[in-house]
Amino acid sequence: MTRGSVYWINLEPATPPELGTVRPAIVVSSAAYNERLESIVVLPLSSRAPEIWPLRLRVAIPGLKASFAVIPGIRQVSKPRLHELIGQAPPALMTRVSEALALYLGD
């Protein structure tokens, strides 16, 4: 499981404003940690528009309708929550995700 992998993932139970249900999510934790730990860190995807830099990024993933990565929705989840692998986010998108995360999580 590598950084940038996109999976269907079960995010229930969730309490608003957390995103719940089974939805796509991008893995943002590194492959080295993903191999060793029982959990991963993901960014949930939403179909709710528009892009709002750096909080909501438009993503184009083959096999998915227009989606947006929800940066404030970043969360750690256990691996058993993962369902089907959808695909891989392109490198240019992961660069934008890294930039948005740095802005959101930085001082």
Give the chain's domain count: 1
Specify which residues 75 forms β-bridges with: 42
Domain range for 99: 5-105
Q: How far apart are CA 74 and CA 65, in angstroms?
A: 21
Give the CATH number of the domain where residue 24 resides. 2.30.30.110
The DSSP output letter for 72 is G
Task: Provide block-wise average pLDDT over 10 residues at a time, the chain (107 residues).
Answer: 94 70 94 95 93 94 91 94 94 96 93
Q: What is the pLDDT of residue 63?
A: 84
pTM: 0.90
The radius of gyration of the chain from alpha carbons, rounded to an integer in Å, stands at: 13
